[in-house]
Amino acid sequence: MANLIYQNEGTHLHAVPATAAQAEDVAFEVQSLASAAGRQSAQLDLGAGARSSLFEWRAFVQFATTPVLDEVVLIYLKTSDGVHEDNDDGTTEGAVSAIDKLKNLRFIGAIKVDQATADIEMVASSGGTPIEIRARYVNVVFWNASADALTADVDENGFTLIPVPDEIQ
């Protein structure tokens, strides 16, 4: 009889403001992110040993002012081998220096404005379809392509990466 292969969800890894961070989290200060601006998280070390290469993700934002339907916050992953990053904005949490710095990053999705209301949580996810991440190091990057800034509240904008390794039972 063949073994069954199950999905075994791993520890959630959060990119959130430093004031809300827990031990497994990395800093990601996207509160008040202005229109036509970007921000990257601190670099997340996924580990040197055996680990999942498949991950699901969930991102959430709120706008400070009334956004326009169908505008977006773009989401990218920046990977590294520990020496060479996908752009030269460094490995620490901080502003994306220019829109051109997104060109060599991996686009993974967008949060689309689905309600023209300020202070309403808008969420996007991988929708149950894992993405593959083979690199050991990764930063999350948001680019606010909307006409409105994100809210200043520290717990209303962020990103979660969820390892989903297969497990043979």
Q: pLDDT per residue over 37-81, tens digit each? A: 999 999 999 988 888 899 999 999 999 999 999 999 999 999 999
Q: Rounded distance, CA 109 to CA 77, Å?
A: 10
**Nearest-angstrom CA–CA distance, 95 and 72:** 18
Q: Mean pLDDT over all residues of the chain?
A: 91
pTM reported for the whole predicted model: 0.92
Does 3 reside within a domain? no
CA distance 152 to 100: 26
Over range 17-28, report the average pLDDT.
73
| Residues 102-137 pLDDT 10s | 999 999 999 999 999 999 999 999 988 999 999 999
Q: Which domain holds residue 69?
A: 10-168
Tally of structural domains, the chain: 1
120 in a domain, yes or no?
A: yes
CATH number, position 120: 2.60.120
Q: What count of other Cβ atoms lies within 10 Å of the Cβ of residue 14?
A: 21
pLDDT the model gives residue 20: 64
pLDDT for residue 23: 61
d(Cα 21, Cα 34) in Å, to the nearest integer?
22
Q: How many CA atoms lie within 13 A of 19 on its CB side?
A: 9
pLDDT band at 24 (very low <50, low <70, confident <90, very high): low
Q: Rg of the chain over CA atoms, in angstroms?
A: 16
Percentage of the chain lying above the pLDDT 90 cut: 72
The reply to whether 96 falls in a domain is: yes
